[in-house]
Structure 1
C-alpha cells in the first residue's frame, strides 16, 4: 500500500546547470550523485520536506527523444503567498508563463514557469478552507 510520494524524476541535459538551478532557486541540496555507463543521476533533498526528493537523470547514451515538456507533466511547489513568491522568483530571474496566477478548480492559486530544460514547474498556494 502507498504511504507517500517518494520522488519525481526529471530528464535533464546539463546536470550541473540543473543542480545549480534547483539549489539556487528552491534551496534543494544534493543527497546523492552517481552514474552508470548509461546515465548520470542525482537525488535532491529539501530541508522542509524530508520525505520527498527530486531525481535528475541525464542520459549519457542517447535513448531516443523525449517530449519537449519532459516525461513528467509538471512539478509543483507549495507556497504560502503566491504573490510574494512570484515577486521573489521574478527578482531571481524566473519568467512566468502568465502575468497573474490562475485559480484551480479547488480554489488554489497557481502559476507555471519553465526550468532550465523547459520542464514545466508550478507554484501553488493551496486553498486552505
Structure 2
C-alpha cells in the first residue's frame, strides 16, 4: 500500500545555488545535506512547518545534468498567487506566466523556473 508522497528528486548543477533558491525564494529549509562516496551530493529540503513532503536535490558537481531527465514540475500551494508572482519578480526569477492562468474549476496556476531550468508551479485552489 502506498501511504504518501515521500520526496521529489530534482537533478541540479550547483547545490549551493539550488539550496539558496529553495530557501530564499521558495521559503523551504535545508533538512540534511550529504556528500556520498560516488561523488553525488544530496540536499533534502522541506517547509519549516511541515516535513511531510521533501524535495531531494541531487547534484554531481558542475559538469552538467545527466540525460536521464529532470522532474517535469513541482507545484506549491499558495494563498495569493499574484502576490507570489510579484515576489518572484523581485528575485529576477524567469517566469513562464506573468499572470495566473485559470484551470479546471477556477483554480489558478502560474509556472516559473528554478536555477537549473526546472519547471515550478504556484497553485491557488478555487476553494480558498
TM (norm. structure 2) is 0.87
Residues 1:26 and 2:29 are matched in the alignment: no
In 1, distance between residues paired with 2:87 and 2:65? 37
Moved >6 Å (runs of 4+): none
Contact 2:10 2:58 in 1 (8 A): yes
Residue in 2 that maps onto 1:97: 96
Q: Deviations over 1:30-59 (max 9, x none)?
A: 111112214111111211332111100012
Residues 1:81 and 2:80 are matched in the alignment: yes
**Count of matched residue positions in the alignment of Structure 1 and Structure 2:** 126
Identify if the C-alpha distance between structure 1 residues 64 and 110 changes in structure 2 by more than 3 Å, giving closer, same or farther: closer
| TM-aligned CA deviation for residue 63 of structure 1 | 8.5
Name whichever structure is richer in strand by fraction: 2
Q: Give the root-mean-square deviation of aligned CA atoms.
A: 2.0
| TM-aligned CA deviation for residue 64 of structure 1 | 4.4
Contact 2:85 2:98 in 1 (8 A): no
Q: Which moved more, 1:90-99 or 1:74-83?
A: 90-99
In 2, distance between residues paired with 1:99 and 1:62? 29
Q: Deviations over 1:66-97 (max 9, x none)?
A: 44xx2x11001110011111112212222311
In 2, distance between residues paired with 1:62 and 1:91? 27
Residue in 1 that maps onto 2:114: 115
Decide which of 67, 73, 96 is 1:65's aligned counterpart.
67
Contact 2:81 2:124 in 1 (8 A): yes
3-state SS in 1 of match to 2:87:
helix
Contact 2:13 2:64 in 1 (8 A): no
